C-alpha cells in the first residue's frame, strides 16, 4: 500500500518534501492536473453564439472545474496549434485566388 501525502502548512514545507521524497512511494491518485496561465490577457473577445452551444460549453467547463471563458480560450488555442490539413490548405489557397 502506498503512503499518504502529508499535509503542509507552508509552500516551503511542501517544496522541501518534494525535493527529498521518493514520490513513487506515495498515492497520487487524488491529484488533479493543473495548468497555469502566466501570460496576461490584454485583449478581449465578445461573440454571440446560440444558447444551447453556450450551455454545452459551460457544462463541459464545469465538469473540468474551470471557468467557461478559459475553456473557450483553450479550445481556440488547441484549434490553432494543430497543423492545417491539406484539404484546409487547398481551400484557403482557392479563396485567396
The mean per-residue pLDDT over the stretch 11-20 comes to 92
Lowest mean pLDDT among 24-28, 49-53, 61-65: 24-28
pLDDT of 47 above 90: yes
Q: State the chain's mean pLDDT as an integer.
A: 88
**Structural domains of the chain, with CATH:** 1-31 (no CATH), 41-82 (1.10.1220)
Q: Look at residue 70 in the predicted model and tell me its pLDDT.
A: 92
CA 61, CA 72: separation in Å to the nearest integer?
9
Q: Look at residue 20 in the predicted model and tell me its pLDDT.
A: 92
Amino acid at each position: 500500500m502506498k503512503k499518504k501525502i502529508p499535509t503542509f502548512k507552508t509552500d516551503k514545507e511542501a517544496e522541501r518534501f518534494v525535493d527529498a521524497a521518493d514520490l513513487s512511494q506515495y498515492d497520487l491518485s487524488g491529484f488533479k492536473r493543473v495548468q497555469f496561465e502566466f501570460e496576461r490577457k490584454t485583449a478581449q473577445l465578445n461573440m454571440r453564439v446560440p444558447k444551447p452551444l453556450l450551455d454545452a460549453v459551460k457544462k463541459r467547463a464545469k465538469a473540468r472545474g474551470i471557468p467557461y471563458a478559459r475553456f473557450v480560450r483553450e479550445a481556440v488555442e488547441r484549434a490553432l496549434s494543430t497543423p492545417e490539413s491539406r484539404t484546409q490548405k487547398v481551400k484557403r489557397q482557392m479563396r485567396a485566388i
